[in-house]
Amino acid sequence: MSSHQRPDPYAVRRVYDPPAPADGTRVLVDRLWPRGISKERAAVDEWLKDIAPSKELRTWYHENRDGRYDAFAERYDTELAEPVRAELVQHVRKLARHGRVTLVTSVKEIERSHVPVLVRHLRGD
């Protein structure tokens, strides 16, 4: 990383963890509102439910998670290129040009969810 590059503008946190000042703009990236948490406690600036995987893809992945993560990630990456999601990706990138963006989620196993795929996509990896 050269000295001219900004630090990574994206962070990931669970919605159940207390918000922190370093979070910057907090964006909920789940299709469904998290159970048992108020809007105040979630402290999200935006809820981009349409950036999340489609209901069909989520259902397919949850029916049998064994060995499906790579295929899920590939399919979700394809969905992120669709017009509505692509527009939301650009919106989040625009937010990141102004400071830290924390992607907030309710999933327990973040590393096996849609969030890492979204972060890679946002970074252009």
Q: Parallel, antiparallel, or unpaired for β 101-105 and 25-28?
A: parallel
Question: What does pLDDT average to over the chain?
Answer: 92
Q: What is the pLDDT of residue 63?
A: 87
What's the farthest any 2 CA atoms get from each other in the chain? 46
pLDDT at 96 over 50: yes
Question: pLDDT of 52-87, one tens digit each?
Answer: 999 999 999 988 777 789 999 999 999 999 999 999
Residue 49, token pair as written in the block: 């439910």
Query: Rounded distance, CA 46 to CA 83, Å?
Result: 19
Percent pLDDT > 90 in the chain is: 86
Query: Rounded distance, CA 114 to CA 51, Å?
Result: 10
